[in-house]
């Protein structure tokens, strides 16, 4: 397969239709990995000057262009989104922290909040995502009541594929300017067109390269709106790297997004991210989504499975869906196991079967999957 000869293009490779969970690494990612090693070997201690002076600014630029951010310097990096959640939570002086969220957030947030709730450190108001038809109105109404320190929701929900179409209305519903608004964009970044220009001064946006950006683990990022969380309590020495000579506080912080940095981390993921983004530069997200939508329609037309059809599709409206199909069926686990026996990788979350196509699939791949499912 062109561009993926070392992963799904090799002989005997599985048909991978879990694009929402993990993307195969394109060949160019190896070039990035090798470049990281060669720079470390060649530059030694000076590697970090190159990383902060060239590698990170390049990655910031890629993200700013994809999200229409006005200032790339608001973007900072870390090995996972959980670290960013911790630092955001550490910004609030009062306890308990009052949080508005949903029942469909990924575990990097939901598990941590559940544990803090056990000890009375947070008070949580949860808005169910279903029914999807009026979710945005219900969530905006809950946000408009005010009284929250943190409003946290996904752009695209991992357990259904439902995509919030009007983030701006929800953000504008929050009545108090000091309330933190955080958007988990992990299933939105590089999956659906995202323009944050109108709300970039108001929201945090966190995502990463593990999924649709096809760069693998370790390339998570956070867009940090100016003025919010100037001095997180959970902090690593990189957060003051550009402020070391400024004096003032005993613990100095940078004013840009790097105030949310942690400490020393493996930068090879950033090299991979830049290599893949350079490769994908001619492809707008809109074009990739359009290609995947055509594959989704073909699949829904061809599939004769009683468990993977339009009637069981949680989000049938394309305009309200991210870049994967999610079907509700009690047979989800069994189906995934049977597909694996045919060298086809899919996945499920409880009773939800998830099918995700990517730019590396073609109509023949879709037909193979549809035919396999039709035999169950």
Same domain? For 319 and 253 the reply is: no
Mean local confidence (pLDDT), 8-37 = 94
Q: Which of 218, 252, 279 is the C-terminal boundary of a domain? A: 279
User: Is 233 in the same domain as 341?
Assistant: no
Bigger pLDDT: 1 or 35?
Answer: 35
By 3-state DSSP, what share of the chain in percent is helix, strand and coil, each rounded to 5?
40, 15, 45
User: Domain check: are 91 and 172 in the same one?
Assistant: yes
Q: What is the pLDDT of residue 30?
A: 97
Residues 90 and 213 in one domain: yes
CATH number where 352 lies:
3.90.1150.10
The pLDDT of residue 242 is 67
Is 80 inside any structural domain? yes
What is residue 171's predicted lDDT score, i.e. its pLDDT?
Answer: 98
Q: 222 and 305 share a domain?
A: no
Q: Assess whether 92 and 237 both reside in one domain.
A: yes
**Does residue 194 fall inside a structural domain?**
yes
* Distance set, CA 306 to CA 265, 299, 333, 357 (Å): 47, 13, 15, 20
Task: Taking residues 154-162, report their average pLDDT.
Answer: 97
Residue found by looking up tokens 């947030």 in the block: 109
Q: Determine the structural domain holding residue 327 and report its residue range.
A: 284-373
Q: How high is the mean pLDDT of the chain?
A: 95
Instruction: Taking residues 75-84, report their average pLDDT.
Output: 96
At residue 20 the predicted structure's pLDDT band, cuts being 50, 70 and 90, is confident
Q: Establish if 148 belongs to a structural domain.
A: yes
14 found inside a domain: no
pLDDT at res. 247: 53
Query: Looking at per-residue confidence, does 23 or 369 come out higher?
Result: 369
114 with 43, same domain: the answer is yes
pLDDT of 328 strictly over 70? yes
Q: Alpha-carbon distance 370 to 376, whole Å?
A: 11
Q: Which two tokens stand for residue 62?
A: 């890629």
Sign of CA dihedral 242, 245, 251, 256: negative
Angle value at C-alpha 288, between 340 and 297, nearest 5 degrees: 60
pLDDT at residue 94, rounded to an integer: 86
Residues 97 and 44 in one domain: yes
Phi, psi dihedral angles at 233 (to 5 degrees):
-70, -40
Which pair of tokens denotes residue 167?
A: 């983030």
Name the H helices within 97-144.
Answer: 107-118, 135-144
- 10 Å CB burial of residue 23 (0-12, 13-18, 19+) is buried
Distance of alpha carbon 160 from alpha carbon 97, whole angstroms = 28
pLDDT of residue 376: 83
Q: What percent of the chain has pLDDT over 70?
A: 98
Does 21 map to a domain?
no
- For the ranges 98-102, 244-248, 357-361, the lowest mean pLDDT is seen at 244-248
d(CA 295, CA 363): 7
In order, the DSSP letters of 148-172 are -SEEEEESB-TTT-BB-S-HHHHHH
One domain for residues 290 and 216: no
pLDDT of residue 287: 98
Q: Enter the tokens of residue 42.
A: 């060649």
**Is-above-0.85 flag for pTM?**
yes
Q: What digits encode the pLDDT tens for the residues 249-274?
A: 689 999 999 999 999 999 999 999 99
Residue 112: what pLDDT? Answer: 97
Q: Is residue 252 part of a domain?
A: yes
> What Cα–Cα distance (Å) separates residue 66 from each residue in 39, 72, 75, 284?
27, 11, 12, 8
The predicted structure's pLDDT at residue 246: 56
Clarify whether residues 210 and 159 are in a common domain.
yes
Average pLDDT of 168-197? 97
Same domain, 195 and 254: yes
- Residue finishing a domain among 256, 279, 302: 279
Q: Is residue 6 part of a domain?
A: no
Residues 101-151: tens digit of each pLDDT: 999 999 999 999 999 999 999 999 999 999 999 999 999 999 999 999 999
Tens digit of pLDDT for each residue in 352-371? 999 999 999 999 999 999 99
| Co-location of 62 and 162 in the same domain | yes
Q: How far apart are CA 327 and CA 343, in angstroms?
A: 21
* Angle ∠(326,330,332) on CA atoms, nearest 5: 50
Extract the runs of DSSP E, i.e. beta strands, from 244-376. 325-328, 344-345, 347-349, 352-355
Which residue reads 């940078």 in tokens? 254
The predicted pLDDT at position 1 comes to: 64
CATH number of residue 256's parent domain: 3.40.640.10
95 located within any domain: yes
Number of domains in the chain: 2
For residue 106, give the 3-state DSSP assignment. coil
Q: Which of 248, 264, 279 is the last residue of a domain?
A: 279
Question: Angle at the Cα of 210 (from 193 to 225), degrees rounded to 5?
Answer: 55
Please give the pLDDT value at position 243.
60
């Amino acid at each position: 397969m062109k561009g993926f000869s070392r992963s799904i293009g090799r002989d005997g490779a599985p048909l991978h239709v879990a694009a929402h969970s993990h993307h195969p690494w394109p060949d160019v990612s190896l070039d990035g990995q090798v470049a990281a090693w060669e720079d470390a070997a060649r530059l030694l201690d000076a590697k970090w000057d190159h990383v902060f002076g060239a590698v990170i600014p390049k990655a910031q630029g890629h993200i700013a262009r994809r999200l229409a951010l006005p200032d790339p310097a608001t973007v900072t990096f870390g090995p996972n989104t959980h670290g960013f959640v911790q630092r955001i939570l550490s910004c609030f002086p009062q306890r308990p922290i009052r949080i508005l969220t949903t029942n469909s957030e990924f575990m990097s947030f939901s598990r941590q909040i559940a544990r803090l709730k056990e000890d009375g450190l947070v008070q949580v108001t949860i808005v169910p995502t279903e029914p999807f038809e009026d979710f945005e109105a219900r969530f905006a109404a809950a946000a408009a009541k005010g009284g929250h320190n943190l409003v946290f929701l996904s752009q695209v929900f991992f357990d259904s594929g439902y995509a919030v179409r009007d983030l701006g209305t929800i953000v504008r519903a929050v009545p108090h300017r000091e309330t933190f608004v955080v958007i988990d964009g992990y299933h939105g970044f590089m999956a659906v067109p995202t323009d944050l220009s109108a709300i970039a001064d108001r929201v945090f946006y966190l995502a990463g390269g593990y999924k649709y950006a096809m760069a693998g683990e370790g390339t998570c990022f956070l867009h940090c709106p100016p003025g919010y969380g100037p001095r997180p309590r959970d902090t690593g020495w990189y957060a003051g790297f550009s402020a070391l000579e400024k004096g003032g506080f005993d613990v100095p912080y940078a004013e840009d997004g790097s105030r949310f940095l942690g400490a020393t981390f493996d930068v090879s993921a950033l090299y991979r991210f830049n290599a893949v983004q350079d490769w994908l530069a001619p492809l707008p997200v809109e074009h990739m989504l359009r290609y995947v939508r055509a594959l989704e329609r073909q699949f829904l037309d061809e599939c004769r499975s009683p468990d993977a059809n339009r009637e069981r599709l949680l989000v049938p409206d394309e305009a309200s869906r991210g870049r994967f199909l999610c079907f509700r069926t009690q047979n989800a686990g069994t189906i995934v196991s049977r597909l694996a026996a045919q060298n086809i990788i899919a996945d499920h979350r409880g009773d939800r079967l998830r099918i995700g196509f990517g730019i590396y699939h073609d109509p023949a791949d879709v037909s193979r999957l549809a035919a396999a499912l039709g035999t169950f």
